[in-house]
Amino acid sequence: MEPQAFFEKLKAYCAVPGPSGMEDAIRERILADIRPSGATYEVDPLGNLLVFKRGRERRPYKLVVAAHMDEVGFLVTAVTDEGLLCFDAVGGVDRRVVSGRRVQFCKDGRTGVVASKSIHIQTPDEFGKCEPIADMRIDIGETDREGAQALVHIGDCAVFRPNYAEFGEGLIKSKAIDDRFGCAVLTDLINSDLAYDTYFAFDTCEEIGCDGAKEVCHRLRPDVAVILESTTAGDVCDAPEGARACELRKGAVLSHMDGGTVYDKDLLAFALKTAEEEKIPCQLKNIVAGGNEARAYQTGGTGAHVLAISAPTRYLHSACCVAAKEDLLAVGRLTRAILERSLPLC
């Protein structure tokens, strides 16, 4: 993994709009990057991209490495007489990070601004409170219903406007780091020489219930699934040390358990040992919270042994997710090191 090329690719991936159910554009970008690899691939009816890359040896079991393509976003639900757009969230979006943000519509790149009641006209009961998303509007610069409906329709989707930037000491901020960084790691692996035959899954609709991963489990029926994800870093806002989950600049994150999965103990121990042997920075997630596609792989198909390798990320599901470049590279290095070995199975 060449760092500069990796982060240039990540920037490009993060810029592509792709909320749950609208992953076509990011899938086409990924396909363009992996076609020269010689790997075989198919796109299933749910839009998942399934890739098989032959290695130097065959594994005695089927292993898939997965990352989801979709990001959180917004769906237009109505148009007001004033030409403003009512909307709802696609995926888990904290309403506190929505007001005042610029959004970009998926179909044509049109910019909108999320409008909410100005502080100057709030009632005493409203002052200091974040209004529900249902009370916010997207302003696209039109003045009446007819003008807005000529440009945007009910069901159209938008995402936070692309804003990738590097700042501070080795940090990056962008919308959609969750999970475009995982997609970038997968494409690097596919384009490399692999020790063993490996399946890769670029999944859809993770943010609304992991529907894509459920279909992948049914089709591939893997024995082992390694999930690349972002996970919430708690090293902000005076969070107690015992409740920080994980921290930036401390490496890849491994979990014993989260809100949906109890992870395979043998695989976890193997990953920790591999990180130690390869001198790859690694940390354990220290709270039981959140969840990812591991649950779908563990319980779908015939069941699979699962391991999640996550990047600590501040401000998940916002316009400005923040991650440390060294942590993202550590996730890639650890994933590659694990794939180079014969994994233990219970």
| CA–CA separation, 231 and 309 (whole Å) | 9
Give the single-character DSSP code of 135: G
Q: Are 219 and 44 in contact (CB under 8 A)?
A: yes
Q: Which of 312, 308, 313, 311 is nearest to 293 (CA)?
A: 308
DSSP structure string for 71-106: B-EEEEEEE-TTS-EEEEEES---GGGTTT-EEEET
Q: Are 172 and 322 in contact (CB under 8 A)?
A: yes
If one counts every other C-beta atom within 10 angstroms of the C-beta of residue 60, the result is 9
Q: Are 56 and 193 in contact (CB under 8 A)?
A: yes
202, β-bridge pairs: 49, 67
Catalytically annotated residue among 23, 71, 142, 206: 206
CA angle 115, 118, 122 (to 5 degrees): 130
Residue corresponding to tokens 């901020």: 173
Is residue 207 part of the annotated active site? The answer reads no
If one counts every other C-beta atom within 10 angstroms of the C-beta of residue 212, the result is 29
Helix (H) or strand (E) holding 230: strand 224-232
Q: Are 310 and 233 in contact (CB under 8 A)?
A: no
| CA–CA separation, 183 and 212 (whole Å) | 15
Tally of residues, the chain: 346
Which are the catalytic amino acids? 206
